[in-house]
Every structure is written in structure tokens, then in C-alpha cells.
Structure 1
Amino acid sequence: MRTNLTILGIVAALAIGLVALPALAATADVDVRGGEYIPASLTVEGNTTVTWTNYDEVSHTVTSTGGTFDSGPIEQNETFNYTFGDTGTYPYGCTLNASTQRTPMQGVVIVVPEGMMIEGDENVTSGEEPVRATLAGLVAGDENLTSFADAVEDAGLTRTVLNAGGPYTVFAPDDGAFEALDNATLAAVLNDTEVLDSLLMHHVVRGNYTAEDLMGEVNATNETVLETLAGDSLNLSMVDDSFMVENATIVASDLVAENGIVHTIDTVLVPPDLLPPENVTAEGNVTAAENVTPEAPVEEQRVIP
């Protein structure tokens, strides 16, 4: 009898000890090799510690675009760790090689809520292809979005985000919107990958928003504000029965991808503080009003609910 009581006591003590142990934090690794982050896009759950290891002979940094983390110089075989507590998208790069490469080293960590990780092939039968393309693939295959698709391809970081992150809602300017940009603004954007990424991610918000969702939000509040991946905001409203995103009209909607939704708009949304003033109105090419006002009346714009 005493033996049984002793065994039960040991079992109880072990059980209490196990309950008291803290949950083990998840970990993930990124190699810095050949002037690249491998993998360039990493999706993790909250409370995950990511470790970057530099295998190159030259120094690199792991520097968050938003200032969340900064490793400082990492020498060969040295590491840098950061634990991601909050969900969100964390683009980062190397500050040491940014001025020596046309395309800087870029990476992104996408943090989802704990317990929300989904295996990439969970809903795909062996031998089958996924039913839908990613946002990047959908944009690349749309004949009305060739300029936007080319910009996404050139930016690199945005392409990585639209391929691996989500769900996101993308307000993609059509080809006519890019043609309406003045030459100085277009050149300033296309010649700087950081500025280009900021511009493109100004057109992307977190979550799946169908046209019905957006209109429901606007009808309930008269105006809805959504935060973009660039860290700023977009105002959505109804004007004369047209659905507006800032000064752009939605001309096609609900293009569904595997990781989000695309709505086509007729104007490139340029944040007022993205470019120096001389690049926005250089040589008197275009004023703000000239750039955003279509020649056709608003009433003629086609809105797909």
C-alpha cells in the first residue's frame, strides 16, 4: 500500500512539474549566404525566435525597414536573434551592401497568430496544383496590370510578400494609371527599389476585403480607413455612386488569389511624402490635379460590385 502511495506521489509531482513548465518558444533559421537571405520570405507564428547566421566572408546586417530590429554588423559565422511577439509583416535588409548593389539584399518575416500556421500543401492532393495563383501570379497574368506587374517584379520585396504572405487586399493601378504619371515621378520611383517597394506596399492592406465588404464598411461609417503595409493609411469612400480609394476609382473588383484579393484602380496612389517635392512637379510636367483626374467623367467609370 505504501509503495502504491509513493508511486502516486511521484506521478503527481511529475504532473505538477510538467504543468509548471513554460511553453517552449518556436525557433526558425535564416542563412545569410552569397549576398542573400535564405529563405528570403519566412512565415512564423508569434513568439518565434528567428536566428540569422552569416556564412559570407563579408559583414552583413539584419535591419528592419520599420526600425523594429537592427543587428548591426554580423561577421562571418556570427548570429543575430530576434523574437517576434506581434503579428505583422516585417521587411528587412542589409544596410552595408545597399549602396553597392543595384538590388539590395531584402527579406521579410511574416508573423501570424500562434496556432494559425497552415502547411502549404494541406489542401492540395499529391500531384495536383493549387486551384488559384498567388497575388503576385494573379497580377502577372492580368493583361491590364502589366506595368504594375513589372514594378512588382523589379521591387523584389513586394513580390516576395505577395507570393508568400497574406491574406492581403491589393488595389492595383491599371496600365492607364501608370501612363498618366509624369516622367519625373515615374523615373524617381523606378530608379530606387526602396521607394518603389514603399509605393507598391502603399497599395496593399492586410486581410481579405471583397467589394461587398468594402462597401459595407463605407456605408456604415461614410468613410473607412485601412492601414497599408507601408505603414500609412488609405481612405475609402463613395463619391457619386463610384467607389473611391483615395482619389482612385475601383474599375474592376474581386479578382481572387490563393492569398488575397485584387481590385483594379485607375490611378497610382502616391503618398505625399514619398518623393522629394522636386520629383513630384519637376519641370512643370504634372500637377497633382492633372495626375489624378481622368479625362472621362467619373460617371463613365465602370464599377464592378
Structure 2
Amino acid sequence: MNSTILGLAAVLALGLVALPVLAATADVDIRGGEYIPASLTVEGNTTVTWMNYDEVSHTVTSTGGVFDSGPIEQNETFNYTFSDTGTYPYGCTLNASTRRTPMQGVVIVVPEGMMVEENGNETGEGEPANMTLADLVAGDANLTSFADAVGQAGLTRTVLNAGGPYTVFAPNDAAFEALDNETRTALFNDTEMLDTLLMHHVVRGNYTAEDLMEEANATNETVLEALTGDSLNVSAADDVLTVGNATLVASDLAAENGIVHIIDTVLVPPDLLPPENVTPAENVTPVENETAVENVTPEAPAEEQRVIP
């Protein structure tokens, strides 16, 4: 009897060992020039599959260079397994010439067993999570315009709710008011463009004002990478921190998943706005069909950064 029981136990054990481990999977459809869903939250070690249902080709290209599908034709797929936690914004590079900004998506990877729902709670938990970056921004009286933009864009709100840690350089209300009407209209009427603008103000990691000051003083200028993949130059002079052409006016507002610094200028990434919304340089007379270089007064270089004393 004992030998029979032991034999059955051995067979069961071998059967259990032979069972394949089911990997977590998730799907994203590409339809109508959009990723559906545009924002996807998964646990670590999840394989995401993108299927292109459009007649035109698309790509799934990470802004940080983590993955790049190359052209995906109709009814073709691309797979990527996310082993590390973090936030992975991505977009299509093939339609950039026909749209003002590429179509965008984001995959937010949380630790295994800690899937986060849209309301910011861990699944199975009844108590709300602590204040997220999105909550902090929404509750600050100096960031009402930035909060409105985050709420309207949608994708950035998901990132600030579930991702992190991040450092956010949030323009105050006066910074948004300083934008001309055409620029504000263009931004708030284009959700993808607005998301690109907002994520240009977000970098991975926790950077306190002290951290930024130390790095800037040590190297004269330090460079951070925004979630859009663009560079943000941070410098310090007379104990004043600047990011691009913006000055920090308040710092170290702490949330559960990062830090917010308030700045006095909206940082606009290169080539974001269409040409009709770009203010031409002053005192420059356009010359049509000009091919000769003689007797042409050179144009003054455009000012790239505002120097803060």
C-alpha cells in the first residue's frame, strides 16, 4: 500500500513539474491611427501584443529606445515582454509627417502581485492609496491650468497616478497665461499634442531641489531626460535653479510616487507646435527664393534660453 501511495505521489509531482508556467499577456489594438487602449497597466513579466488592423503601416516605438517594432503591416503583430517595472511611453514614427504629433501610448509596469486599478488602489485593497502626483497637482491652487491640462489629456493623468517615481516640473498658472491665445488653443484642442507637452515636463526618478543644485553645481549644467525622450537642461546660478528657460519658484512638493517643482514658464518641446503657431523672430525679413549668399545680412541667432541672474 505504501509503495502504491508513493508511486502515485511521484507521478503527481512529475505532472506538476511538467505543467507549463502561464505567462501574463495583454493586447493592444491599432485601429484608426490609435492604440487601443492608449494606456495599459500590467504586472512585471507580462508580454504585450500589438495587432495592426489598419491598412497603413504603423510602428510601436519606445521614446526611451527600449523597444522598436519597425513597420507593422495590416494584420501583423509585435510582442514585447516587460520584465522591469516602470513607465514606457511609445508612439508611431511612420505617421509623424501627416499628424502634428505621433499617435501615442504608454505601458505602466507595476511589481508582480501589485496590479493597480484606475482609481489608484491596489487590487483587493479597500483603503485608498496615499496622495499621488496627479492628486497633488489637482489640489494645488497655483497649478489649476496644469491640472486642467492633465485632466483633459488623460494619458498623463494615468502616468502620474500609477507610474513613478517621477519628478514633475509643473508650470504655474501665470506660465500658462503667458502663452498666446493661438498656442493655448492649439494645445487644448489636440489631446495628443497636449500629452506630449505635459510629459515633456516629467522625468523619471526623485530629484529634490538639493539634488538638482548639487548636480548642476558639480557639472555647471546637468541634463535630464523627459518622458518624451527630449533633454531638459538644469543649471544653477546664485542658488537659483533653472530648467530650460524656466525658473523654479517652489520646490519639493512630495507625493507618494514622486516630487513636484513649480516653474514659471511652460517648457515647449522642439517641433511640437505647427508652424502657424510659432512666433517669427523679430527684425528678420524673410527672403523668398533667395539662393545667393552675398550682401545678405546674417540673421541674429534666436535666443535659446533666458539667463536668470
Q: Do the two structures share a fold, i.e. TM-score over 0.5?
A: yes
Counterparts in 2 of 1:211 and 1:22: CA distance versus 1, 3 Å: farther
SS at match of 1:208: coil
Deviation at 1:226, TM superposition (A): 0.7
Question: How does the TM-score come out when normalised to structure 1?
Answer: 0.68
Name the counterpart of 1:151.
149
Deviation at 1:217, TM superposition (A): 2.0
Counterparts in 2 of 1:122 and 1:151: CA distance versus 1, 3 Å: closer
Instruction: Find the partner of 1:83 among 80, 84, 94.
Output: 80
SS at match of 1:209: coil
Q: Is the 8 A contact 2:103 2:192 kept in 1?
A: no
Q: Distance in 2 between matches of 1:23 and 1:217?
A: 45
User: Structure 2, unaligned stretches of length 5 or more?
Assistant: 1-8, 94-101, 283-301
Q: Is the 8 A contact 1:184 1:282 kept in 2?
A: no
- Once the two structures are overlaid, the 10-residue window that deviates more, 61-70 or 171-180, is 61-70
Q: Is 1:68 matched with 2:74? A: no
Deviation at 1:169, TM superposition (A): 0.8
Counterparts in 2 of 1:105 and 1:278: CA distance versus 1, 3 Å: closer
Name the counterpart of 1:131.
130
Deviation at 1:282, TM superposition (A): 5.6
1:42-53 → structure 2 map (5 Å cutoff): 42-44=40-42, 47-51=45-49
Name the counterpart of 1:189.
187
- AA at the equivalent of 1:130: A
Deviation at 1:130, TM superposition (A): 2.4
Q: Write out per-residue CA displacement over residues 250-286 of structure 1, whole angstroms, 9 at most, x where no aligned residue.
A: 11111122221111000111123222444220697xx
Instruction: Find the partner of 1:27 among 22, 25, 28.
Output: 25
User: Structure 1, unaligned stretches of length 5 or more?
Assistant: 1-10, 96-103, 299-305
Q: Is 1:223 matched with 2:205? A: no
Q: Write out per-residue CA displacement over residues 161-213 of structure 1, whole angstroms, 9 at most, x where no aligned residue.
A: 11221111110000101111122322332232222211111100011112222
Counterparts in 2 of 1:232 and 1:37: CA distance versus 1, 3 Å: closer
Instruction: Find the partner of 1:240 among 225, 238, 241.
Output: 238
Instruction: Find the partner of 1:142 among 140, 143, 150.
Output: 140
RMSD: 4.7
Query: Comparing both structures, which one devotes a greater share of its residues to helix?
Result: 1
Q: Distance in 1 between matches of 2:179 and 2:216?
A: 28
Q: Is the 8 A contact 1:140 1:149 kept in 2?
A: yes
Question: How does the TM-score come out when normalised to structure 2?
Answer: 0.67
